[in-house]
Amino acid sequence: MVDIGDRIKRRRLKLGLTQEELAARTELSKGFISQLERNLTSPSIATLMDILEALGTDISDFFARNDDEKVVFTPDDMFVSEDAESGHSICWLVPNAQKNALEPIMVTLAPNGSTYPDDPHEGEEFGLVLSGSVTLVLGMRRFKLKKGDSFCFKPTEEHYLINGTQRESRVIWVATPPSF
């Protein structure tokens, strides 16, 4: 069941409106808005439409089921792909089903392992070295990074990671748009 009062309150707060301000925009009383948000009363369809208009939304968006959107992910949600030949594995931290604008992964590089070269594309990329050290290759340039270092770039050149050490390395890597 949809909690209309809670949704109205969340939308109002998101817009930075007080109950008084919403009441003034809808020609309703602050007391009515308060009771509505606490589910002590129910609005008529006409009143609900007025409230939603004042909140900058419409009935279809207001009742759209977006509370099913997953926010927290556990290891059970994650998918790991290993490539022994190149010496890397990729753990997708957020399932593709989320259709997000960004794609976070955790890359584990075996000693002397590397990721496959990625062609230039639109967007941005960010990474954080969690353990070990890696070399970020951007076209003809090479950047050495150690634990705690991060990188951020527009992927206008071929790019990939190399672990030239004898220790395993882990990197959180985020791309937008998704490309892994």
111 and 167 in a common domain: yes
Same domain, 116 and 42: no
The reply to whether 86 and 115 lie within a common domain is yes
Whether the per-residue pLDDT at 98 is higher than 70: the answer is: no
Asked if residue 70 is part of any domain, the answer here is no
Q: Is the pLDDT of residue 84 over 70?
A: yes
Given pLDDT bands bounded at 50, 70 and 90, which one contains residue 179? confident
Domain match, 111 and 51 both = no
User: Element (H or E) spanning 172, and its range?
Assistant: strand 169-176
Domain count, the chain: 2
Q: Which residues contact 113 (CB under 8 A, 6 or more apart)?
A: 86, 87, 88, 162, 163
Question: What does each C-alpha distance from 70 to 6, 7, 100 come to in angstroms?
Answer: 19, 18, 11
Q: pLDDT tens digits for 138-173? A: 999 999 999 999 999 999 999 999 999 999 999 999
**For the segment 29-77, what is each residue's pLDDT rounded down to a tens digit?**
999 999 999 999 999 999 999 999 999 998 888 887 655 567 888 888 8
Q: State whether 18 and 79 are in the same domain.
A: no
- In CATH, what number is assigned to the domain containing residue 94? 2.60.120.10
Q: Does residue 69 sit within a domain?
A: no
Residues 45 and 98 in one domain: no
Domain that holds residue 108: 75-176
Say if residue 52 is in the same domain as residue 139: no
Give DSSP secondary structure letters for 1-63: ---HHHHHHHHHHHTT--HHHHHHHHT--HHHHHHHHTTSS---HHHHHHHHHHTT--HHHHH
| Residue 43, domain CATH | 1.10.260.40
> Strands (DSSP E) along 69-168, which ranges?
79-83, 88-92, 103-109, 124-131, 133-138, 141-146, 150-153, 159-162
- The pTM of the full predicted model, rounded to 2 decimals, is 0.63
